[in-house]
Chain A
Amino acid sequence: MPQNSPHPLPPLARTAHAAHATRCLSGLPGSQTDIDASRVALVFYCLGSLDLLGLLDSKVPELDRQEWTEWLWEQQTRGPFGTGFKPGSFMTSRPDQEGSADESNYNCPHIIMTYTAMLSLAILRDDFSRLDRRGITSFLRSCQKDDGSFSTTPQSTDSDLRTVYCAFAISSMLNDWSGMDVGRAIAFIDSCRTYEGGYGQSPFCEAQGGTTYTAIASLYLAPQGNSNGEHLTAAQREQTIRWLVSNQQTSGGFRGRTAKEADACYCFWCGGALQILGEPDLVNRTSLANFMARCQFKYGGISKAPGENPDPYHTYLSLAALSMYPPANDAGSNPSWQFERLDPLLNARETTVRWIKEHIPSNPQVSQ
């Protein structure tokens, strides 16, 4: 038995986790009505879980996958501010009831939904012939604020680092940066850096794992001339690595802020940032897997901490963390913990990212 695992790792319940995802995709109880405002994101977490587990094709009949693709395209919305995806149909009424409310300013695209819808469609291997690429770049332009950040929808005023990341990810997927002023966006990211070495969600806010991931990923997604984190000095990079690593707890899980409790999603956010910074070996994989094993819910799904209820967000991010940091494949470890590689910048399986690069840009970059 490996020396540093006193308890052998139980299997990762892949089939049960896939079942949790398909269950959520088939419907949610009324107690989860608040998901309505971010339904496409939830759909991405479920489809993404199935994709990472490699069980999408075997667990979901082809007809369902086709209809789901249609449903996602239904969320693509054109309006005065450009094109993007909306969270769902909560502002959509029957087309036969004297026109449709679709074109209304109150049923407009949302930047986080646009990012997650594009990833979801790639997971479903859509050919993206229906994607309004130019419309999306003008949508991004109408979301960018004077301080360089992006609002969630064109008319709203709420903006923070999460939406900035979505703009970088979308522009990168399109391979078209005309939708944003990259310099101003990077200046905004810089203004969110804190003395601890992480990034807060907005200027002056406390360093947090999720927003630190979005900051680092954005800096590394930025196009040539602005890329590869050249905005980080060597000292800043070291400080960020130190802070990220300091968040791994003896339980094996990562916390999102100094002195908080470990939470499964931060295994992805902190671990992903370390992967992007080129220091994946600094994560203790064995204890990370032990933590995840304890976060598994007995009827499927992964929760934020042992003993809590599972949800699609924590399930997906846990599986994504394990895709980057599977436990060492030595004698005694179970094959259920092995995954295909994940692209940490766009947060999707590498084969899905290859699909994106071959199908989304108007001039696809055909990979070798």
Chain B
Amino acid sequence: MPSASSSTPKDEPKTLFSERPEWADVQALEQYEISNPLAPIFYSEEYKDATGYFRAIVKKGEMSERVMELTEFIIRHNPAHYTVWQYRYKTLLALQSPLEAEIKLMDELAVKFLKTYQVWHHRRLLLLLQRDSSNSFSAAAKELAFVAQSLKADEKNYHTWSHRQWVLSQFDHEDLCASELDFVDDMLNHDVRNNSAWHHRFFVVFQSGVREGEEDRARVVKRELTYTKQNISLAPNNPSAWNYLRGVLDYSKMPYAQLTSFVNLYAVPTDSDVIDIVDLDNPPPSKDAQLPCVAALEFLADIYEKRGKDDEEYGTTAAVEVYFPSFLHFLESNELILSKQVWKSLAHEHDTIRQKYWEYRIREALVNA
């Protein structure tokens, strides 16, 4: 539970709305259910009281300052109440009140109800109100700072990351994205196994437009490969980094085989012979690394399989297929034999939970060969 002291006064039990003179003019509307309802909720007294006034207000169509107080009260008891959020937003617009107070309140509530979808959705609506205004850039920049702050409390929170991606895709300011790579770097430096941060990196580098200084895409790809390889060398058994590596290669349509020497370093059992000569293109695993690395074995098998297919495209097996189809299985390429060996070692030794999958890869490779 957050101990945010600033919120304490508002959380203190107040008198029921039915006991407040300023609400005396409103007749609360009790919730109606037919008999034997499914999964009825035994609401607290103050929640039942407040929602009775909310139903009455909605029916009247009243949009006033006291509606802001009422809806805030209900949200604090049930942040998932989307109707209250909707009505609050409409009221906010109708009152044309300045947004600062609302944003301040949302900063508190987002931390308090980090996992509630509605909280983030309301923030989006508030941001959209500012998108076409003169302070659009500063609103978005503030939002990114807020997101960075709240990611500290929960570094993999899906809502928070989605919100950041949404802000960056909706607010198209060059400068907004300029420091985004530094932000990702910080996140990954803190936890190199945070897949959300790796994903965000992919979004920033490849999907959110080309930043100044990144026009030379070949250089960007090379930079990303180097960055990822270095991170793999520090923490070899990190599926997020390996997936990113595949992502970069797939995106730029580069063959996996290009990384053969690098991958080989991680696909062999730990060796006492420490490599002294550090090749910057092929950084070796750290000394205490657990090898071989499952992701490297898988990568290597993919390289072999692809080579086997490419050999075939040069036509040696095509003629045989026509004249002697039953001989085909004797003609497996060396490459295919190698990938089969790797898959077998994954199935029976290094990644036995996925035994069925590695056997499937062997079968599929034979069918497609």
Residues of A within 8 A of B (CB): 24-30, 32-39, 42-43, 46, 64, 67-68, 70-72, 74, 89-95, 97, 101, 104, 106-107, 152-153, 155-158, 194-196, 200-208, 242, 245-246, 248-250, 252, 257-260, 279, 281-284, 287
Given the known interface contacts A71-B34, A89-B33, the answer about A282 and B246 at a Cβ–Cβ threshold of 8 Å is no
CA distance A25 to B80 in the complex (A): 20
Interface centre among B80, B81, B83 (most CB of A within 10 A): B83
Q: Is B330 an interface residue (CB 8 A)?
A: no
Specify the chain B residue showing the minimal Cβ separation from A279: B360
- Contact: A28 with B39, CB < 8 Å? yes
Contact of B36 among A67, A94, A153, A284 (CB under 8 A): A67
Smallest Cβ distance from B20 to chain A, in angstroms? 20
Determine the chain B residues whose CB is within 8 A of the CB of A94 once the complex forms.
29-30, 32
**B273-306 toward A: CB 8 Å interface, digit per residue (1/0)?**
0000000000000000000000000000000000
- Contact: B82 with A37, CB < 8 Å? yes
Contact of B42 among A28, A43, A204, A249 (CB under 8 A): A28
Smallest Cβ distance from B116 to chain A, in angstroms? 8
Determine the chain B residues whose CB is within 8 A of the CB of A248 once the complex forms.
353-354
- Contact: A93 with B32, CB < 8 Å? yes
- Contact: A158 with B357, CB < 8 Å? no
CA distance A158 to B124 in the complex (A): 10
Q: Is B166 an interface residue (CB 8 A)?
A: yes
- Contact: A30 with B43, CB < 8 Å? yes
CA distance A281 to B207 in the complex (A): 35
**B182-205 toward A: CB 8 Å interface, digit per residue (1/0)?**
000000000001111001101100
Specify the chain B residue showing the minimal Cβ separation from A46: B39
Specify the chain B residue showing the minimal Cβ separation from A197: B243
> In the complex, which residues 148-179 of chain B have their Cβ closer than 8 Å to any Cβ of chain A?
156, 158, 161-162, 165-166, 169
Contact of B31 among A35, A89, A157 (CB under 8 A): A89
Given the known interface contacts A38-B80, A195-B243, A202-B162, the answer about A104 and B44 at a Cβ–Cβ threshold of 8 Å is no
24 contacts between A and B (CB under 8 A): A27-B42, A28-B40, A28-B41, A33-B41, A34-B79, A36-B80, A39-B39, A43-B38, A67-B36, A70-B36, A71-B38, A89-B37, A106-B58, A194-B202, A195-B202, A195-B246, A201-B158, A204-B169, A245-B354, A249-B353, A259-B194, A259-B239, A279-B360, A282-B360
- Contact: B31 with A30, CB < 8 Å? no
Given the known interface contacts A37-B80, A91-B83, the answer about A281 and B356 at a Cβ–Cβ threshold of 8 Å is yes
Smallest Cβ distance from A27 to chain B, in angstroms? 5
Q: Is B121 an interface residue (CB 8 A)?
A: yes
- Contact: B162 with A68, CB < 8 Å? no
Q: Is B138 an interface residue (CB 8 A)?
A: no
Determine the chain A residues whose CB is within 8 A of the CB of B244 once the complex forms.
195
Smallest Cβ distance from B113 to chain A, in angstroms? 9
Specify the chain A residue showing the minimal Cβ separation from B238: A259
- Contact: B44 with A30, CB < 8 Å? yes
Specify the chain B residue showing the minimal Cβ separation from A288: B353
Contact of A258 among B162, B207, B243 (CB under 8 A): B243
Smallest Cβ distance from B312 to chain A, in angstroms? 16
**B336-369 toward A: CB 8 Å interface, digit per residue (1/0)?**
0000000000000000011111001000000000
Given the known interface contacts A35-B39, A205-B161, the answer about A156 and B82 at a Cβ–Cβ threshold of 8 Å is yes
CA distance A279 to B207 in the complex (A): 31
- Contact: B34 with A70, CB < 8 Å? yes
Query: DSSP class of A's interface residues: helix, strand, loop or mixed?
Result: loop
> In the complex, which residues 8-56 of chain B have their Cβ closer than 8 Å to any Cβ of chain A?
29-44, 47, 51, 55
- Contact: A201 with B239, CB < 8 Å? no
- Contact: B195 with A71, CB < 8 Å? no
Contact of A201 among B32, B81, B162, B208 (CB under 8 A): B162
Q: Is B251 an interface residue (CB 8 A)?
A: yes
Q: Is B78 an interface residue (CB 8 A)?
A: yes
Contact of B38 among A72, A259, A283 (CB under 8 A): A72
Smallest Cβ distance from B283 to chain A, in angstroms? 21
CA distance A203 to B162 in the complex (A): 9
Q: Is B7 an interface residue (CB 8 A)?
A: no
Contact of B240 among A89, A93, A157, A259 (CB under 8 A): A259
Determine the chain B residues whose CB is within 8 A of the CB of A89 once the complex forms.
31-33, 37
CA distance A27 to B247 in the complex (A): 48
* Additional pairs, 5, CB under 8 Å, beyond known A89-B31, A106-B58: A30-B41, A157-B121, A204-B165, A257-B196, A258-B239
> In the complex, which residues 291-337 of chain B have their Cβ closer than 8 Å to any Cβ of chain A?
none
Determine the chain A residues whose CB is within 8 A of the CB of B37 once the complex forms.
71, 89
Smallest Cβ distance from A293 to chain B, in angstroms? 16
Contact of B83 among A25, A90, A207, A208 (CB under 8 A): A90
Determine the chain A residues whose CB is within 8 A of the CB of B193 once the complex forms.
259
Determine the chain A residues whose CB is within 8 A of the CB of B214 once the complex forms.
none
- Contact: B251 with A195, CB < 8 Å? yes
Smallest Cβ distance from A142 to chain B, in angstroms? 15
Given the known interface contacts A89-B37, A196-B243, the answer about A106 and B194 at a Cβ–Cβ threshold of 8 Å is no
- Contact: B82 with A34, CB < 8 Å? no
Smallest Cβ distance from A99 to chain B, in angstroms? 8
Smallest Cβ distance from B59 to chain A, in angstroms? 5
